[in-house]
Structure 1
Amino acid sequence: MAMSKLSNTFGMRVFTDEGDYFGEVEDAVVSASKIVSWKVQSGSNSILQKLVKNAKGVIVPHQLVKSIGDIMIISNAALPKSN
């Protein structure tokens, strides 16, 4: 597994495992030198923007991240439930 700088993920586009555009990585929450979660801001025309409307973004637990490469892929379970 190749190592990369954490800062390389900032601004990275995030998609669900079903192919929906979710948003962009804003920051990572790190504790004891391990990534705990990701702050993801809702992008224009993203599924996240449609679900949370006025919120700027959400926190995605690292356990829901499936892959990080040129993009980040997260589990569809990370989608906020609509009311």
Structure 2
Amino acid sequence: MMIVELAFTPAPERLAARAAHRSLLLRLHQEGRLVAAGPWADDSGALLVFDVERAELAEILGDDPYYRTPGVGVAAVREWSPIVGPAA
């Protein structure tokens, strides 16, 4: 499992790019490569949980221009080893 944490700023480009990004997330979820994703309640960033290897995650991040949009920063990418839940 791979975890991506995003940090947001109020740049208007982020909101303009969000619909296309969410469409890609839906496709990744339907394919079983994205477990969960969503913004923090205060909209300061988001958390995404991917069921992919690091190399595939790099491709996913590279293929979605949202991650390079002003107002969106990738704050952290971490490998996660859950001990309970559907991914355990």
TM-score by length of structure 1 reads: 0.31
TM-score by length of structure 2 reads: 0.30
Higher relative contact order (CA 8 A, sep 6+): 2
Judging by fraction of residues, say which structure has more strand.
1
Q: Rg: which structure is higher?
A: 2
